[in-house]
Amino acid sequence: MSELDLCYKVLGLEPGASPEEVNQAYKDLA
């Protein structure tokens, strides 16, 4: 598993998620 894949996993997202999905998941964790 790559470091980037791990980042997606921590956020609960699939690799290739849109930037908007990444931003929302990050805000939900904060």
pLDDT digit of tens for each residue in the chain (30 aa)? 899 999 999 999 999 999 999 999 999 999
CB 8 within 8 Å of CB 15: yes
Residue 23, CB-side half-sphere exposure with 13 Å CA sphere:
3
Instruction: Report the pLDDT value the prediction gives residue 25, as an integer from 0 to 100.
Output: 98
Instruction: Report the pLDDT value the prediction gives residue 23, as an integer from 0 to 100.
Output: 97
Amino acid at 8: Y
Instruction: Report the pLDDT value the prediction gives residue 1, as an integer from 0 to 100.
Output: 82
- 9 Cα distance to chain centroid: 6
Q: Kindly give, in sequence order, each residue whose CB lies less than 8 Å from that of residue 28, ignoring residues fewer than 6 positions away.
A: none
